């Protein structure tokens, strides 16, 4: 199964599923994977019956000298003698694996049973004290005893007991071979969880070097006695490397297993696919999927949904939808999960019409909708403020309001500042028996903090404790932010310390919030002190952190120092964002240092960082205040050329600048342009025009401004109330 997609033209997406049952080996197991095998000391014959070691490469792989594929049970060189590497076969620390309590009574019973079995298998047990004194417990004998015990009893737990006893009581250090033998026995005895513990131990002994992975693969092969068990053990090994985030190692092992005609289980393949997609190795994921198909593993909707989710997470909804539609062509029926992935992505991108259409389509197809899909659409409508449509979707699909739906409504109300309505919805939820969670409390506390209603925020904070809900880091951060907005830094510090006393670890957002509060208040020494505390606590400062520091310095007039911090960040490999440069550019502009401001501007261009409207506004504001309108006009035209759309604030900045120098002609041209683009003049616009006519010594400047604006508006079919307009511009200001 392959995918070829275009993020630009959905109609030209060439996404197709390879015909099932393709016999040719995939690229994954021919070009890429075989390259790894060529450099490996392991070679497999075509029938997969044996493994040999490439003798001329053994010296490059420490530790392979003592292992033979022709193991017959006779003594081998101890594996812990390999090379000069770390003693990789030291005693297993089972505290890392599992706790095992030994009781003397159990010891006696289990050991008696073990000795009885070994006697029956011909082992020389001391008849005088029934002990193991007559047996040399080396690697070879330990492995034979493990196998004899299991063959006779089929009790993997008993064998595991002896395995642990032999190390605890005799001091024997288990080697890779004895550990692998125990793994096979545990798998054969349906104790896979214990086998996985041992495999995890072996995997963590090394960071995924090829020689170590090949060694594990080979020793597992050498010590196996049943092919089914070997397949399970290999699958567990691949799964373990996948879970340890060594995806490429897991993929190489899968390739080598394939040469033995062994392939990981469906569950392990799913985990590996997910890991490949998460690490942006999409092509390798498609290759693995193709190989799974050739191995006879039946593909299902959940597997394809992994790829749909990958496309949607990148914003490529066209490819995601096309893949979902092609599932039907090859006999896979899309389930509600696959559709929900698309619905959720559409809703997050505010493509709510399309998301709602899919909901209706699923309903017509008889697919039972789950709460996740419907809630996603409702949340989307709430975020754009379409309350009526959100409620309509809720009613049409008969979904009972749940806590997530209420959270959507409360979140939007808080964002828009409608705290009274948010509080009413919150209490309605409680009245209906739905218990608000930490997220819900944090949302409404944050809303009150942003509106600087700290008493109301603390009221809900107290309710959290009363209901037994533990506040999160985000909850305390909301309080810190509220106090900073209220310029009450003492209480902000108290909230921050309370978070730590509650056993919570502040994250970068919490630190950034308080650093920003210190900076805006002018407490630079405290801001830098907290930055040091943040580093000491192991929380790496991010771009937002340094933006706060730079902004704080510029507010106090330390523009050169702010530039020094920016230069140091770049030298250390940080990637400042547009906010960083805009802040610095604004600082230089306000000081009239346009040479340095333009150096910042050009640096952004050189590093392919597109200036936005806010960046342009900062530089334009500096030009206008310096009455350098020629440069301001040139920058404005350049801004339009690169596709930026001016907002009302930017237009008013320029209009005011032209009016300050008595150039009402260019100012009125800008008014005409803003009206053409659907932006209505406001009081600031009108007052700037009156000021311009005053500068031009025009008699009756208010009436003249009224007349010129009225003509512009009527030209575009807009009428205004003249009397109201006159009232709004009676005080022209500066």
Over residues 550-575, the pLDDT tens digits come to: 989 988 888 888 888 888 888 887 77
Q: Which residue has the higher pLDDT, 37 or 296?
A: 296
Q: For residues 418 and 568, what is the distance between their CA atoms, to the nearest angstrom?
A: 43
What's the pLDDT tens digit per position in 432-457? 888 999 999 999 999 999 999 999 99
pLDDT confidence bin for 99, thresholds 50/70/90: very low
Residue 102: closest CA among 183, 180, 189, 167: 167
Specify which residues 2 forms β-bridges with: 16
Residue 19, number of CB atoms within 10 A of its CB: 9
At residue 126, the pLDDT reads 64
The answer to whether the Cα torsion of 655, 660, 663, 664 is positive or negative is: positive
Measured in degrees and rounded to the nearest 5, phi and psi for residue 51 equal -125, 140
pLDDT confidence bin for 77, thresholds 50/70/90: very low
Show me where the domains of the chain are located.
646-734
Highest mean pLDDT among 122-131, 563-572, 644-653: 644-653
At residue 730, the pLDDT reads 56
Residues 687, 731 contacting (CB under 8 angstroms): yes
Q: Which residue has the higher pLDDT, 159 or 567?
A: 159
DSSP 136: -
Averaged pLDDT of the chain: 80
pLDDT confidence bin for 67, thresholds 50/70/90: very low
At residue 539, the pLDDT reads 93
Residues 622, 657 contacting (CB under 8 angstroms): no
What's the pLDDT tens digit per position in 272-330? 999 999 988 999 999 998 888 888 888 888 889 999 999 998 888 889 999 988 887 77
Residue 419: closest CA among 406, 432, 410: 410
- Kindly tell me if the per-residue pLDDT of 489 is higher than 90: yes
- Kindly tell me if the per-residue pLDDT of 655 is higher than 90: yes
What's the pLDDT tens digit per position in 373-420? 898 999 899 888 888 888 888 888 888 888 988 999 999 899 988 999
Average pLDDT of span 684-710: 87
Q: Which residue has the higher pLDDT, 218 or 60?
A: 218
- Kindly tell me if the per-residue pLDDT of 114 is higher than 50: yes
Q: Which residue has the higher pLDDT, 35 or 674?
A: 674
Instruction: Tell me if the pTM is above 0.85.
Output: no
> What are the residues whose beta carbons fall under 8 Å from the beta carbon of 23, sequence distance 6 or more?
294
At residue 179, the pLDDT reads 93
Average pLDDT of span 480-502: 95
Average pLDDT of span 524-531: 94
Average pLDDT of span 135-155: 87
Structure tokens at 365: 């197809």
311-315, 369-373, 671-675, range with the lowest pLDDT: 369-373
Q: SS3 of 68, please?
A: coil
Q: For residues 303 and 609, what is the distance between their CA atoms, to the nearest angstrom?
A: 38
Q: For residues 129 and 115, what is the distance between their CA atoms, to the nearest angstrom?
A: 11
pLDDT confidence bin for 135, thresholds 50/70/90: confident
At residue 119, the pLDDT reads 82
pLDDT confidence bin for 334, thresholds 50/70/90: confident
Inter-CA distances, 669 with 304, 590, 638, Å? 56, 26, 17
At residue 493, the pLDDT reads 96
At residue 560, the pLDDT reads 86
Average pLDDT of span 618-623: 87
At residue 128, the pLDDT reads 57
- Kindly tell me if the per-residue pLDDT of 27 is higher than 90: no
At residue 708, the pLDDT reads 87
At residue 456, the pLDDT reads 95
At residue 726, the pLDDT reads 64
26-40, 238-252, 349-363, 452-466, range with the lowest pLDDT: 26-40
Residue 171: closest CA among 205, 220, 202, 132: 132
Residues of 427-455 as b/e, b for ≥16 C-beta within 10 angstroms?
eebeeeebebeeebbbbbbbbbbbbeebe
Q: Which residue has the higher pLDDT, 11 or 436?
A: 436
- Kindly tell me if the per-residue pLDDT of 121 is higher than 90: no
Average pLDDT of span 337-364: 90
Inter-CA distances, 5 with 20, 29, 317, 341, Å? 20, 23, 11, 18
């Amino acid at each position: 199964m392959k995918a070829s997609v275009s993020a630009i033209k959905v109609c030209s997406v060439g996404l197709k599923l390879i015909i099932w049952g393709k016999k040719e080996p995939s690229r994954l197991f021919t070009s890429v994977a075989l390259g790894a095998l060529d450099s490996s000391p392991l070679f497999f014959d075509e029938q997969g019956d044996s493994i040999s070691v490439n003798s001329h490469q053994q010296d490059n792989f420490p530790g392979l000298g003592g292992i033979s594929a022709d193991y017959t049970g006779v003594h081998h060189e101890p594996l812990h003698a390999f090379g000069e590497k770390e003693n990789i076969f030291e005693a297993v620390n089972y505290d890392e694996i599992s706790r095992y309590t030994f009781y003397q009574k159990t010891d006696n019973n289990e050991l008696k049973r073990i000795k009885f079995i070994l006697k029956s298998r011909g082992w020389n047990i001391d008849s005088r004290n029934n002990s193991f004194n007559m047996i040399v417990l080396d690697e070879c004998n330990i492995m034979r005893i493990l196998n004899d015990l299991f063959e006779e009893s089929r009790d993997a737990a008993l064998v595991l007991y002896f395995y642990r006893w032999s190390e605890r009581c005799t001091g024997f250090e288990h080697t890779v071979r004895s550990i692998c033998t125990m793994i096979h026995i545990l798998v054969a005895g349906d104790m896979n969880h214990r086998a996985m513990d041992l495999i995890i131990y072996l995997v963590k002994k090394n960071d995924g070097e090829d020689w170590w992975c090949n060694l594990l693969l080979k020793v597992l092969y050498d010590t196996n006695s049943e092919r089914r068990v070997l397949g399970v053990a290999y699958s567990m090994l691949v799964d373990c490397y996948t879970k340890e985030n060594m995806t490429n190692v897991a993929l190489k092992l899968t390739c080598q297993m394939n040469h033995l005609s062994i392939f990981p289980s469906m569950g392990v393949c799913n985990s590996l696919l997910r890991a490949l997609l998460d690490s942006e190795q999409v092509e390798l994921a498609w290759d693995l999927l193709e190989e799974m198909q050739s191995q006879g593993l039946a593909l299902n909707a959940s597997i394809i949904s992994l790829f749909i989710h990958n496309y949607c997470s990148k914003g490529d909804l066209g490819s995601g939808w096309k893949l979902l539609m092609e599932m039907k062509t090859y006999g896979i029926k899309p389930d509600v999960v696959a559709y929900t992935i698309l619905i959720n992505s559409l809703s997050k991108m505010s493509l709510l019409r399309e998301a709602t259409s899919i909901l209706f389509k699923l309903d017509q197809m008889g697919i039972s909708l789950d709460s996740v899909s419907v809630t996603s659409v409702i949340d989307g409508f709430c975020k754009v403020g379409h309350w009526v449509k959100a409620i309509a979707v809720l009613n049409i699909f008969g979904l009972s309001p749940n806590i997530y739906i209420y959270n959507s409504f409360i979140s939007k109300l808080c964002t828009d500042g409608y705290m009274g309505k948010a509080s009413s919805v919150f209490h309605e939820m409680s009245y209906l028996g739905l218990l608000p969670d930490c997220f819900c409390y944090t949302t409404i506390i944050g809303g009150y903090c942003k509106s600087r209603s700290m008493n109301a925020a603390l009221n809900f904070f107290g309710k959290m404790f009363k209901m037994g809900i533990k506040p999160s880091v985000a909850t305390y951060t909301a309080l810190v932010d509220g106090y900073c907005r209220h310029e009450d830094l003492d209480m902000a510090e108290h909230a921050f310390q309370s978070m730590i006393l509650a056993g919570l670890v502040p994250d970068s957002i919490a630190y950034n919030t308080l650093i920003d509060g210190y900076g805006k208040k002018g407490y630079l020494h405290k801001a830098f002190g907290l930055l040091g505390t943040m580093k000491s606590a192991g929380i790496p400062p991010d771009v937002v952190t340094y933006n706060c520091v730079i902004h704080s310095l510029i507010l106090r007039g330390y523009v050169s120092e702010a530039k020094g911090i920016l230069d140091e960040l770049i030298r250390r490999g940080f990637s400042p964002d547009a906010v960083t440069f805009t802040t610095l550019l604004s600082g230089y502009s306000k000081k009239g240092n346009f040479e340095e401001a333009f150096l910042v501007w050009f640096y952004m261009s050189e590093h392919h960082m597109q200036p936005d409207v806010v960046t342009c506004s900062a530089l334009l504001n500096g030009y206008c205040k310096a009455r350098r309108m020629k440069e301001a006009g040139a920058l404005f035209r350049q801004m339009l050329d690169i596709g930026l759309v001016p907002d009302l604030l930017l237009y008013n900045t320029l209009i005011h600048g032209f009016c300050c120098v008595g150039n009402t002609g260019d100012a009125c041209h800008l008014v005409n342009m803003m009206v053409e683009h659907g932006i209505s003049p406001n009081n600031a616009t009108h007052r700037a025009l009156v000021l311009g006519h005053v500068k031009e010594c025009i008699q009756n400047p208010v009436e003249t401004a009224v007349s010129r604006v009225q003509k512009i508006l009527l030209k575009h079919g807009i009428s205004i109330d003249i009397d109201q307009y006159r009232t709004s511009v009676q005080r022209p200001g500066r």
